[in-house]
């Protein structure tokens, strides 16, 4: 049985004119800030290169999502396409975002174990749907109507005594 845990982190997206909240201007790279420079150029040397200030790492003011591209999905530390080879498995992991019209709005971090690849993909789908519901309550109705918040109750049937498998029987011999 596969088990998955998901973390969804909202991505800071620039707002459009249709949205009522104005977008705040942000630097292109929030991690690197320019240091003030008080160096003087020597006027006697022609074509002297201008001094380049050293970047200062300002880690305290950087949001956690600044280091990730928009809509990045990592499964056990690997990109989604690298972990799930089949397109149907990748589509099932991203299906909750398609239902809620939130594709690319979140960075997703998944930890999954057990089962096969398709079972892991379906476990990731449930974990993503639950995490999306917890982060955005407005997305609850379409996700619930699509049936993504329910677990698959099927389980492997137990082996019975006198049989090689759960229902398989040995070949019947008259004598």
pLDDT digits (tens, 9 = 90+) for 49-59: 554 444 444 43
Q: Which residues pair with 83 in a beta bridge?
A: none
The answer to whether the CB of 93 falls within 8 A of the CB of 86 is no
pLDDT digits (tens, 9 = 90+) for 103-124: 888 888 999 998 899 999 999 9
Identify the pLDDT of residue 170.
93
Identify the pLDDT of residue 64.
47
Positions in the chain short of pLDDT 50:
17-42, 51-69
DSSP 54-115: PEEE--TT--GGGGS-TT-EEETTEEHHHH--SHHHHHHHHHHHHHTT-TTSEEEEEEEESS
Identify the pLDDT of residue 111.
92
Nearest to 65 by CA among 30, 101, 95, 16: 30
Q: Which residues pair with 34 in a beta bridge?
A: 55
Identify the pLDDT of residue 56.
41
pLDDT digits (tens, 9 = 90+) for 11-23: 876 555 444 444 4
Contacts of 8 (CB under 8 A, 6+ apart): 106, 107, 108, 128, 131, 132, 135
Model pTM above 0.95: no
């Amino acid at each position: 049985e596969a088990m998955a845990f998901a973390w969804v982190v909202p991505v800071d997206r620039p707002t459009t004119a249709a949205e009522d909240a104005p977008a705040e201007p942000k630097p292109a790279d929030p991690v690197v800030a320019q240091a003030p420079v008080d160096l003087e150029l020597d006027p006697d040397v022609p074509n002297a290169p201008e001094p380049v200030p050293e970047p200062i790492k300002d880690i305290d003011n950087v949001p956690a999502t600044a280091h990730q591209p928009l809509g990045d999905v990592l499964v056990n530390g690997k990109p989604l396409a690298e972990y799930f080879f089949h397109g149907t498995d990748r589509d099932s992991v991203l299906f909750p975002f398609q239902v809620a019209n939130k594709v690319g709005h979140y960075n997703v971090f998944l930890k999954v174990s057990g089962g096969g690849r398709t079972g892991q993909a379906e476990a990731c789908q449930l974990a993503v749907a639950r995490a999306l519901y917890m982060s955005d309550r407005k997305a609850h109705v379409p996700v619930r109507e699509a049936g993504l918040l329910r677990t698959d109750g099927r389980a492997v049937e137990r082996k019975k005594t006198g049989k090689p498998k759960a229902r398989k029987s040995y070949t019947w011999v008259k004598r």
